[in-house]
A and B are shown apart, each in its own frame.
Chain A
Amino acid sequence: MGTHAMEQAAGATTVPTQTGLLIIGASQSGVQLAVSLRALGFDEHITLLGDEDHRPYQRPALSKEFLQGTVESESLIFRSNEYWAEHNVDLVKGEYIARIDKEADGSGVAHASSGREVPFKRLALTVGARARKLDTEGADLDGVLYLRNADDALALKARVGDATDVVVIGGGFIGLEAASSLQKMGKNVTVLEYGPRLVGRAVGEETAEYFLAAHRSRGLDIRLNTSAARFTPADGGTSVAAVELKDGTVLPAQIVLIGIGVIPNTQLAEQLGLDVDNGVVVDRFALASDGTTVAVGDVANMPNPVPGSEPGERIRLESVNNAIEHAKVAAYSLTGRREEYAGIPWFWSNQADLKLQIAGLCNGFDQTVLRRDEARGKFSVLYYRQGQVIAADCVNAPLDFMAVKNALAKGQNIPADAAADPATQLKTITTDS
């Protein structure tokens, strides 16, 4: 058949006419799904397909080490080619799946925009999310950039040498990480945040204020409650030269980097008729509404897996940790087992010398406890709900982070009154709840 002939002409190894599992999205969750399936003994052929021309790579470094040039692109690659070959996983790069025909038994055919067809027995969607675009006037000028994937990072790196001034739009994790990196590279960086504080709802007020003060003291120009009115080129040019704010201020900018969140890639799920609501709606076992397709990672809207969360509460998590843990759940599902999400969600963000680690989810907290050790540059906030610790934001305080993460994983508590003294090691006051 056509696809088979094409594979062989391209010199690829022989691929069965129908792959056992087609994983769309050669992402962190896609890679983990393939790896976990092999660890569980899944022996059918796997096709891991992505629309980028790169082998699957780790994204977090793109705004940090990769941008700064302290790691090579090769070290971002998840697995060697030999690994995939040995594990009977066919890696397909640079194919964008435009449409899928699917049968009730879960099998079907995926149609790429190139014309290539990939017949499959089962389908996994690990398609992630895309950068939300800004439609501000001038957003189509050269030098107005986003940072979501490797090509974005390469485009940014290619322009950064000639730039003196950078305006970062969005004071979330990606914006602050990139701003810190660019500042370290000698750029004059201004961060514009539309809202009244940094990092939106991902952290509490105390942490947001800590980061604001810490970044400002390191020389980063951060403007809250501020948005751009338009991006303007130099006379007759096609590249951005300045950002005009709504109050009329004009900031020079040879690069504008936009990081204002992401939109889950639900196009294929919608075309398949799956339930979609802020992502692909899945059950506790990562199964979409058709009962056969799994959706994993950033794209999946799942029942909140954190112990003690409200029944029926749903959540979509954008993190490496979630991509990994959720992929494991899906791998069990695809091998006929029912295992619920394990582990406590955690996140990290490295900005300049500020190393933020977050354990748990702070949603619904009613009390915070601050631990601050100015001399050693350590800062932690513990979040409580009805006296039970539910999360912590820790800056340069890995012992606090580890103590809270481990307590949450074991269903333990760290009493609030005892936690306030930064000289007390949290591990020593952890109790069985």
Chain B
Amino acid sequence: MPTVHFTDAEGAVRDVEGNVGDSVMETAVRNGVPGIVAECGGSLSCATCHVFVREDCVSQLPPMEDMEDEMLYGTAVDREDNSRLSCQLRLTDELELFVTTPESQV
């Protein structure tokens, strides 16, 4: 099963097993991971599901499309090179993903 390891801004870690095909955002929200807000439910409208992806995991992810790229300029905590919107990241078989959630999403 794909697993996402969420580390919050204080360093607390939460490991969540997800389903292939679901997004990282959905996996977080359904299980109540507090660092992900996701107001728009994954329609790429709100930029409140921002995560920092651990450097060695970045290559496992699909490339960013323009809309995600632009939305990332409006996140509550400024973007970094490893920033993604977690609604755009789909879980694949055996994926082991490490992400950190920002201090604030809104």
Interface set of A (CB-CB < 8 Å, partner B)? 35, 39, 58, 60-61, 64-65, 75-80, 82-83, 87, 320-321, 324, 343, 346, 348, 350, 355, 357, 396, 398-399, 401-403, 405-406, 427
Q: Is B89 an interface position by the 8 A CB rule?
A: no
Closest A residue to B19 by CB, please name it: A74
Q: State the CA gap A30–B38 with chains docked (Å).
A: 16
When A and B form their complex, which 10 residue pairs have the shortest distance between CB atoms, in order from nearest? Answer: A402-B74, A348-B45, A398-B70, A58-B41, A398-B71, A80-B30, A83-B32, A399-B70, A75-B26, A357-B45
Interface set of B (CB-CB < 8 Å, partner A)? 22, 26, 29-32, 34, 39-47, 67, 70-71, 73-74, 106
Which residues on A sit within 8 Å (CB–CB) of B47? 398, 402
Which residues on A sit within 8 Å (CB–CB) of B29? 78-79
Decide if B39 touches A324 in the complex (CB within 8 Å). Answer: yes
Decide if A320 touches B39 in the complex (CB within 8 Å). Answer: yes
Which secondary structure characterizes the binding site on chain B?
loop
Decide if B70 touches A320 in the complex (CB within 8 Å). Answer: no
In this complex, the member of B45, B46, B70 whose beta carbon has the largest number of chain A beta carbons within 10 angstroms is: B45
Q: Between A and B, how many residue pairs show CB distances below 8 Å? A: 66
Closest A residue to B44 by CB, please name it: A355
Question: What are 23 A-B contacts defined by CB distance under 8 Å?
Answer: A65-B43, A75-B42, A76-B41, A79-B29, A79-B30, A79-B32, A80-B31, A320-B39, A320-B40, A346-B46, A348-B45, A350-B45, A355-B44, A355-B67, A396-B67, A398-B47, A398-B74, A399-B73, A399-B74, A401-B74, A402-B73, A402-B74, A403-B74
Decide if A60 touches B30 in the complex (CB within 8 Å). Answer: no
Decide if B74 touches A321 in the complex (CB within 8 Å). Answer: no
B93 smallest CB distance to A (angstroms) = 18
Closest A residue to B26 by CB, please name it: A75
Q: Known pairs A35-B32, A64-B43, A78-B30. 10 more at Cβ < 8 A?
A: A39-B34, A60-B43, A65-B43, A79-B31, A83-B32, A343-B106, A348-B43, A348-B45, A350-B43, A402-B71
Which residues on B sit within 8 Å (CB–CB) of A402? 47, 70-71, 73-74
Decide if A83 touches B31 in the complex (CB within 8 Å). Answer: yes
- Knowing A61-B41, A348-B45, say if A87 contacts B70 (CB, 8 Å): no
